[in-house]
Amino acid sequence: MKSYLGPLNRDNPILTQTLGVCSALAVTAQLKPAVVMALSVTVVCAISNLIISLIRNTIPPRVRIIVQLLVVSTLVIMVDQVLQATFYDVSKMLSVFVGLIITNCIIMGRLEGFALSHTPGASLVDGLMNGLGYGLVLVVVAIFRELLGSGTLWNHQLIPSSFYEAGYLNNGLMILPPMALILVGGLVWIQQGTRKSSEK
Amino acid sequence: MGLSQFSDKIRKNFEKGKPLHCFSSLFDAVDTFLLTPKTVTTTGSHIRDAVDLKRIMITVMIALCPALLFGLWDTGYQHYLALGQACSIWTCFSYGFLKWLPLVIVTYVSGLAVEVGFAQWRGKQVEEGFFVTGFLIPMIMPPDIPLWIVSVATIFSVVFAKEVFGGTGYNFLNPALMTRAFVFFAYPSVISGNSVWVSGSPEAITGATPLAQLMNGGEQTASFLNMFIGTIPGCIGETSKIAILIGAALLLFTQVASWRIMLSVIAGGFLTGSLFYGIGLCPINGWQHLLMGGFLFGAVFMATDPVTATHTQSGKYIYGLLIGILAIIIRVINKGYPEGMMLAILLMNIFAPLIDYCVIQIKIKKRKKNILLHKTQVFNNINKPK
């Protein structure tokens, strides 16, 4: 059980394995696209893990990467279509990054490292947890960036206008990708720091 | 009871396991600041020079004083000039002083709080590194900047430019410049534009710096003599070029700052400025560039920071030249950033270790060749038929 929860903290795909950082920097300026992105990656990761695990004994090892890519890109195209049909504005905002889920190292890594050698049930849970671990970091970073950078959360004004009258200003650096990198770095710092002390 | 006895008496309360242990770094810092440290070497010591970190820092602070004193007067002078009132030297100075004092207090309190916190967390002593940084930060800010922004920026830069990498001596970015860069990108409205440089000016009067006027293609109101003396709007410390040169002379005389870096920064800026003037990209020529904005202040006090600059002698020429060249390129070609000095120095701070690495590798290669040559000669001498 504990190994399934690993991706949320100890084996977090972004914080520990530093995979998928590019999309984490690009889509976290606001909370809404970050949540949508996190859900998309979770769905793709979980279902592709399940499918590959189901057919793992029939895939010839030589062409397994191509098979994995086919499965993942089919799923990504479906997710993209669903997003365009339901959340058109968010889909516009995410633009190319939904398509780029295909190249997200987390998904390929889980397929290669886990789904090819485990049963479908375990693979499904593993894919789900890795997607959620990725999503967790995205949401935390996005909350900081949107709240401090725009004063809003899920497009609702959270910082009262009396603050602005008293001289408060939104932090423009939070909107820029460099600050996302610093925030992810800060999370890595906190995670590694607390881990060390708990292992002692 | 004397101060020393009092310190000895309360010292044991800060030891490990005692109730006040969480303040031991703070106690240690105050104790070292006021008295001589209690820890002494037990074996033979290797003193080669009386100059230590503390003395270097104090020299830099003394060198900053002329620019600071002039800046305080100029802040008041610009204020009363904008209001159209006459004022004495003393009124101008006290106005500027009262603008500067809260800035400096906020900077030191927030910066030192972070430093003490980290020192306590790591179980180390507080280093003197922040004293110069905290002195520099108010000098590169506009006089009317909100205090909470200064505090946030200082905390950010001390944590992410310095403590993350291990504290004083391990930072590869200049923390004072990082503070300014943070404000510049996070709160651009308080540090750029025409209305921030004159303290307390009414909305209608804009006090653009000469550099901003030039970059926006506006009318030049200040003469180059004014820029040299420093009676122009600007950050508190950067306006007077004479005062900065006095500080530079002191730094060079005491050999605290590297003349190689200063010279090559100025040479790089002058040559690039002249080149742009020659091909008609910029209406002012090389030496006029040197008098504008924060170029000279950056060259004297920021680029020469011994921690973030290159350490090899020939590396210093490359580092300085590139700072000067980049600063003028950013200034002339990118209209969005009228002051290129800050970005140029920060960029070269990042490249400094690479420059050092290349210089050392080239030297090693050369010497290896010499050793091989020497070895073959010895070999030939031994095997010479007698």
- Residue A152 has phi, psi (to 5 degrees) of -120, 170
The number of helix segments (H) and strand segments (E) in chain A equals 10, 2
The per-residue pLDDT for A196 is 64
B164: closest CA of chain A, how far (Å): 9
Task: Check if A174 contacts B (Cβ < 8 Å).
Answer: yes
- Lowest model confidence (mean pLDDT) among A2-16, A106-120, B367-381: A2-16
Residues of chain B that touch chain A, judged by Cβ-Cβ distance less than 8 Å: 146, 148-149, 160, 164, 182, 185-190
Confidence of residue B251 (pLDDT cuts 50, 70, 90): very high
Confidence of residue B266 (pLDDT cuts 50, 70, 90): very high
Nearest Cα residue in chain B from A171: B186
Longest Cα–Cα distance in chain A:
67
A189: closest CA of chain B, how far (Å): 9
- Domain ranges in chain B are 54-204+212-228, 257-377
Nearest Cα residue in chain A from B160: A182
Task: Check if A171 contacts B (Cβ < 8 Å).
Answer: yes
Element (H or E) spanning A152, and its range?
Answer: strand A152-153
Copy the structure tokens of residue B344: 């140029």
- How much of chain A exceeds pLDDT 90, in percent? 51
Q: In this complex, do A169 and B188 lie within 8 Å of one another by their Cβ atoms? A: no
Q: What average pLDDT does this structure show over A36-55?
A: 94
- Across A11-20, A128-137, B190-199, which has the greatest mean pLDDT? A128-137
Q: Residue A44 above 70 pLDDT?
A: yes
The per-residue pLDDT for B204 is 45
Closest-CA residue to B289 (of B195, B214, B208)? B214
Nearest Cα residue in chain A from B165: A189
Cross-chain CB nearest to A173 (options B148, B182, B190): B182
Q: What average pLDDT does this structure show over B234-238?
A: 84
The per-residue pLDDT for B192 is 74
- Domain ranges in chain A are 2-140
Confidence of residue B169 (pLDDT cuts 50, 70, 90): confident
Cβ distance B220 to B122 under 8 Å?
no
Residue B120 makes CB contacts below 8 A (sequence gap 6+) with B22, B23, B24, B25, B26
CA distance A164 to A160: 7
Closest-CA residue to A10 (of A172, A130, A108)? A130
Q: What is the pLDDT of residues B193-223, one digit of tens each?
A: 666 777 765 554 555 677 766 666 655 667 7
A146: closest CA of chain B, how far (Å): 14
Q: Give ipTM to 2 decimals.
A: 0.86
Residue A14 makes CB contacts below 8 A (sequence gap 6+) with A20, A21, A24, A133, A134, A137, A184
Angle among Cα B375, B376, B377 to the nearest 5 degrees reads 90
Strand partners, A152: A157
Closest-CA residue to A27 (of A37, A19, A17)? A37
**How does the average pLDDT of chain B come out, rounded?**
85
- How much of chain B exceeds pLDDT 70, in percent? 91
Closest-CA residue to A41 (of A113, A116, A135, A110)? A135
Q: What is the pLDDT of residues A148-193, one digit of tens each?
A: 998 888 888 888 888 888 888 888 889 888 899 999 999 998 888 8
Q: First CA to last CA across chain B, in angstroms?
A: 85
Q: Residue A36 above 60 pLDDT?
A: yes
Angle among Cα A49, A55, A56 to the nearest 5 degrees reads 75
Cβ distance A48 to A168 under 8 Å?
no
Nearest Cα residue in chain A from B121: A193
Q: What average pLDDT does this structure show over B165-177?
A: 87
Cross-chain CB nearest to B186 (options A171, A185, A189): A171
Q: In this complex, do B188 and A174 lie within 8 Å of one another by their Cβ atoms? A: no
**Dihedral class, residue B5 (left if φ above 0, else alpha if ψ from -120 to 50, else beta):** alpha
Q: What is the DSSP letter of B125?
A: P
CA distance A29 to B50: 52
